[in-house]
Structures are given as structure tokens and as C-alpha cells.
């Protein structure tokens, strides 16, 4: 493995560790404020952390402002921000109705959806992709539907959010290979902050006291999950092909379950545990190339 690939792998591994544990912070945060308020504030915190970081990392301070004038950077950032607003918004609302560990595994469905959506970009898929879809769907049924007559609202919302995450990943893979990763992440979260803030004003009653009570989850998800981890995702995808990058990102679901177990003392039933195994097997198979 080349040095740049090792660097990209480490960046993505740290990103998935942060994302997985962030499910707990997102779930706890909604004990104090609404989902759109939570998302707006965490996104603003991400922007607030990224701007000075970019300034410090710029070697030529005279070009700090001109580098923001790249039209392709803004076009890509706005598109990624729109996809991320839908993905994180639905995920945040869904976490009100399901457990963080289960949400992590359902979110892992985006790893399967990425190559499926790639068909619309003219990318060919082998037999292992369709087999992985079957495994993931079977696992999702056991995870969300076994013993019930209908899919829980939270599970359905997070499944739809997984599709939006898949779109965001494809946008980065196709459009962001030569762009400044930190600036791109800053722009996409600026878009998320504006849209989430407008949604919160119309659907919720934001309060300063609630935001203060939610300070720790907001700081964790804003600075680390949004600011740091999504920057690591963009940088990592620039160094790795889609298959190994997606495989590493699939570990997010494992870290989510471990975090729910360690911090919230949550457990899964036997059906749910087997469903998790099937979803994870589908995720891995989806990234494994068939032998000739």
C-alpha cells in the first residue's frame, strides 16, 4: 500500500470512529432541543471551527480570501450541503424514534447504495453488488421489522437518510478530487446551518437555555463529527479508491453499536444482532471484487 493510501485509510478510520460515537451524542442531545435546532447549531460550530483552522493552515495568508472565490468549490459545496442537509436532518429526526446502535447499522446501508446509484453514472456493478443488496435488505428486515407489523418511523427515516448520504459520497467522489477539502467541508456545513436554521424557526421553538443544556453533545458533534470527521472523509476519499474507502467507512456502524453499549448500556435482541451481521456482511461483500 502506498504512503498516500495509508494516510487516507487512517483519516477515514478516525472519521468513522468519531461518527459512530456521535450517534450517542445526537441521541442524548435531543433530550434538550429539537432536531433542526440541534443540526443548525452543530453546523454553525463546525463552520466556526473550520474557518480559523483554514486560516492557520494557509501558508500564503495573502491568498486566504482569493481561494474562496473558486466557483467549482462553491458549486460542489452547495450540492454536497443540500445532500447532507437531507441526510443529517432525517437521521437526526429518526434518532428520536430508534436506538443509536440500530441507527448506525441502518445508516451503513449507504455503503450498499453507493454502487447501486453509481449505475446512473454509467458504472458497472458485478454479481456481488446485487448479492450484497439482498443480504442488506434481509438484515434490515430482521433489524427493523422482526416481531412487528410495520417498519418503525425512526428506522424508515434513517433508511432514507442513508440514500442521501450515498448521494453526498458520490458527489465528493465525482466532483471534489481536486478541491480544497477543508474549504469544501466549511461550505457544505454553512449550507446545512442556513437550511436547518430556517427549518427550526418554522417547526420548533429554539431556546438559549436548551442549547446551553445541550452544550457537550453539540460541541462533540459540531467540532469533531462535523468539522473534523467530515473533513477527514473528503481528504481520505482523495487518497483512496471508492472500494477500500467505503469498506473503512462501514465500520461506523460497529462503532455506533459499541458506543451505545458502553455509554448508554443498550443491547440488541438476537434477531437484531443477526440482522446487524447480515447488513455488515452485505456491506463487506459489496466492496469485494469477484474473482475471475
According to the model, what pLDDT value does residue 243 have?
Answer: 60
Q: How many CA atoms lie within 13 A of 2 on its CB side?
A: 6
Residue 252 backbone dihedrals phi, psi, to 5 degrees: -55, -40
Residues 6+ apart with CB under 8 A from 145: 151
d(CA 58, CA 43): 22
Contact at 8 Å (CB) between 88 and 38?
Answer: no
Contact at 8 Å (CB) between 42 and 262?
Answer: no
How many C-beta atoms surround the C-beta of residue 87 within 10 A?
24
d(CA 99, CA 222): 21
List the one residue out of 49, 39, 46 whose CA is nearest residue 87.
Answer: 39
Measured CA angle at 200 (ends 228, 69), to 5 deg: 50
Report CA-CA distances (Å) from 237 to 129, 185, 209, 228: 20, 13, 39, 14
pLDDT in 10s for each residue of the chain, 292 residues: 577 778 888 888 899 888 887 777 777 787 889 989 999 999 999 999 999 988 888 776 666 677 888 899 999 999 999 999 999 899 888 888 877 667 777 887 777 788 778 777 777 767 777 787 788 778 777 766 666 556 678 888 988 998 999 899 889 888 888 888 899 999 999 999 999 999 999 998 888 999 999 899 999 999 998 999 989 988 888 887 666 677 677 777 777 777 766 766 666 677 777 877 887 787 677 656 543 3
Contact at 8 Å (CB) between 88 and 39?
Answer: yes
According to the model, what pLDDT value does residue 86 have?
Answer: 95
Model's pTM, two decimal places? 0.82
Contact at 8 Å (CB) between 78 and 252?
Answer: no
According to the model, what pLDDT value does residue 291 have?
Answer: 39
According to the model, what pLDDT value does residue 61 have?
Answer: 65
> Mapped to the 3 state alphabet, what secondary structure does the chain carry?
CCHHHHHHHHHHHHHHHHHHHHHHHHHHHCCCCCHHHHHHHHHHHHHHHHHHHHHHHCCCHHHCCHHHHCHHHHHHHHHHHHHHHHHHHHHHHHCCCCCHHHHHHHHCHHHHHHHHHHHHHCCCCCHHHHHHHHHHHHHHHHHHCCCCCCCCHHHHHHHHHHHHHHHHHHHHHHHCCCCCHHHHHHHHHHHHHHHHHHHHHHHCCCCHHHHHHCHHHHHHHHHHHHHHHHHHHHHHHCCCCHHHHHHHHCCHHHHHHHHHHHHCCCCCCHHHHHHHHHHHHHHHHHCCCCCC
Report CA-CA distances (Å) from 140 to 56, 262, 281: 44, 23, 12
Amino acid at each position: 500500500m502506498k504512503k498516500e493510501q495509508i494516510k487516507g485509510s487512517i483519516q477515514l478510520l478516525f472519521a468513522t470512529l468519531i461518527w459512530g460515537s456521535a450517534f450517542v451524542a445526537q441521541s442524548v442531545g435531543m433530550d434538550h432541543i429539537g432536531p433542526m435546532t440541534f443540526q443548525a447549531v452543530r453546523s454553525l460550530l463546525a463552520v466556526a471551527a473550520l474557518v480559523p483552522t483554514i486560516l492557520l493552515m494557509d501558508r500564503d495568508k495573502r491568498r486566504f480570501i482569493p481561494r474562496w472565490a473558486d466557483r467549482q468549490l462553491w458549486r460542489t459545496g452547495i450540492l454536497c450541503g443540500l445532500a447532507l442537509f437531507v441526510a443529517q436532518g432525517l437521521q437526526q429526526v429518526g434518532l428520536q424514534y430508534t436506538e443509536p446502535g440500530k441507527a448506525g447499522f441502518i445508516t451503513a446501508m449507504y455503503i450498499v447504495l453507493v454502487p447501486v446509484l453509481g449505475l446512473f453514472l454509467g458504472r458497472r456493478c458485478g454479481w456481488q453488488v446485487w448479492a450484497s443488496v439482498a443480504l442488506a435488505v434481509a438484515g434490515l428486515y430482521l433489524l427493523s421489522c422482526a416481531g412487528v407489523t410495520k417498519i418503525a418511523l425512526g428506522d424508515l427515516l434513517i433508511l432514507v437518510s442513508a440514500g442521501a448520504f450515498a448521494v453526498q459520497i458520490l458527489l465528493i467522489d465525482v466532483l471534489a478530487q481536486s478541491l480544497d477539502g477543508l474549504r469544501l467541508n466549511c461550505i457544505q456545513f454553512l449550507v446545512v446551518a442556513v437550511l436547518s436554521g430556517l427549518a427550526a424557526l418554522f417547526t420548533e421553538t429554539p431556546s438559549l437555555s436548551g442549547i446551553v443544556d445541550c452544550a457537550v453533545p453539540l460541541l462533540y458533534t459540531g467540532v469533531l463529527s462535523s468539522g473534523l470527521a467530515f473533513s477527514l472523509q473528503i481528504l481520505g476519499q482523495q487518497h483512496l479508491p471508492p472500494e477500500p474507502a467505503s469498506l473503512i467507512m462501514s465500520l461506523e456502524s460497529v462503532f455506533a453499536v459499541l458506543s451505545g453499549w458502553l455509554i448508554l448500556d443498550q443491547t440488541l435482541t438476537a434477531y437484531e444482532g443477526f440482522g446487524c451481521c447480515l447488513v455488515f456482511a452485505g456491506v463487506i461483500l459489496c466492496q469485494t471484487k469477484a474473482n475471475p
